[in-house]
Structure 1
């Protein structure tokens, strides 16, 4: 085993790790926010909102993430160049990068999966707790914010932890749209040095460590808010 290359490539490794973590954080945070709306629309929304939310989740959960990523990058990306004035706008430096399309596709995909998790959790909240909130005169919005959603999140915490780990393991797909994440750095090292196993071992250790941190953090959260069934 030869790990001498790390001394020359450590700045790229750090930058790649930052890109990977940033992609994970963006997709999980914004995806979860979107998932809340999608789940509520399916559980208690009117039909004109429930059906589009259901179709959205079914479509994104039923197609490979790699295909969705390529559709955004090669499809939507090519169409954006036809928008008049976009290339000269302040948004173009962001919109032209593969990271933007990766973040959007990862966020939407995560939202679709998490919406189904939250939908099941919302339906599993005891009806008596919701009736108690209504008896206190809570409006539907306040009832959802203070009782229904927090209770559902507590129930879904173990599943949410697993979904975040799965999202982390999906991040190497961003390499296919020119994002210089940690896997892309390992690929570059392999091309430059002809070393195969060593760069992949470094990537593997990184993913294992981040997974352990995610699981540990969510277990601490779960310990603070125990799930009562």
Structure 2
């Protein structure tokens, strides 16, 4: 075991984890908006709107994230028309292709998490609000959304952790995130065990922080 290499690799890998956290945070923010929108569409009684939202969720939850990244990064670049539009400014950059793939993927899972959370809200709470003369809009924003957010925290916490680990796939499109830098160091030292132990430790520490943050939020916003 080359401990000297492990200590030498740590600062480089720690610095690369900033890219990982950027990918994660931007994807989660965009994915949260997408997820909220499609959760509302999934609850819509219009069959066409409902099926459209279901189709999006089904496709992105039913296919590997790696395939989605490759389709967006390699596949869309093969469409000649896109190369002559403003979209090419975004699609030619691996960073933004990864963001798009991660956002759409986590958005699909988030939509199902939020949909389930909305469906767990007791109808009596909504009826109580209506009996007091509160408008549907106020009930939705002041009662349904806060309850749904609280109910979805445990599942969404797991989704954040899964997405954080999923960002390692960004290295497949040349991004030098935590995994990308680890693979580069390995290619020059030919010592994968030492480097991946350090990289794995950093991932584990980030998981620990996310897990405890979610637990703190669960306790803080507990209904009890």
TM-score exceeds 0.5: yes
Cα distance, 1:67 vs structure 2: 0.7
TM-score, normalised relative to structure 1: 0.89
Looking at structure 2, the residues matched to 57 and 141 of structure 1 have their Cα atoms a distance apart, in angstroms, of 26
Equivalent in the alignment of 2:61:
61
Matched residue count: 224
Corresponding residue SS for 2:4: coil
Looking at structure 1, the residues matched to 175 and 49 of structure 2 have their Cα atoms a distance apart, in angstroms, of 34
Looking at structure 2, the residues matched to 117 and 172 of structure 1 have their Cα atoms a distance apart, in angstroms, of 23
Cα distance, 1:140 vs structure 2: 3.1
Q: Is 1:124 the counterpart of 2:120 in the alignment?
A: yes
Corresponding residue SS for 1:179: coil
TM-score, normalised relative to structure 2: 0.91
Considering only aligned residues, what root-mean-square deviation do their CA atoms show, in Å? 2.1
Alpha-carbon distance change, 67 to 85 in structure 1, aligned in 2, over 3 angstroms: closer
Looking at structure 2, the residues matched to 81 and 188 of structure 1 have their Cα atoms a distance apart, in angstroms, of 34
Corresponding residue SS for 1:205: helix
Looking at structure 2, the residues matched to 80 and 208 of structure 1 have their Cα atoms a distance apart, in angstroms, of 42
Looking at structure 2, the residues matched to 43 and 82 of structure 1 have their Cα atoms a distance apart, in angstroms, of 34
Q: 1:101 aligns with which of 97, 101, 104?
A: 97
Task: Specify every segment of 5 or more residues in structure 1 that has no aligned partner in the other structure, as ranges.
Answer: none
CA contact (8 A) 1:35 1:112 kept: yes
- Runs of 4+ in structure 1 off by over 6 angstroms are none
Which structure 2 residues correspond to residues 1-229 of structure 1 after superposition, within 5 A?
A: 1-5=1-5, 12-44=12-44, 46-79=46-79, 82-84=82-84, 86=86, 92=89, 94-227=90-223
Alpha-carbon distance change, 83 to 77 in structure 1, aligned in 2, over 3 angstroms: closer
More helix by share: 2
Cα deviations by residue, 1:141-189 (Å, 9 ceiling, x for unpaired): 3322211111011112111111111111111111111111111101011
CA contact (8 A) 2:10 2:198 kept: no
Looking at structure 2, the residues matched to 82 and 71 of structure 1 have their Cα atoms a distance apart, in angstroms, of 14
Alpha-carbon distance change, 143 to 19 in structure 1, aligned in 2, over 3 angstroms: same
Looking at structure 2, the residues matched to 97 and 216 of structure 1 have their Cα atoms a distance apart, in angstroms, of 34
Looking at structure 2, the residues matched to 146 and 138 of structure 1 have their Cα atoms a distance apart, in angstroms, of 10
Tell me whether 71-80 or 32-41 shows the greater mean CA deviation: 71-80
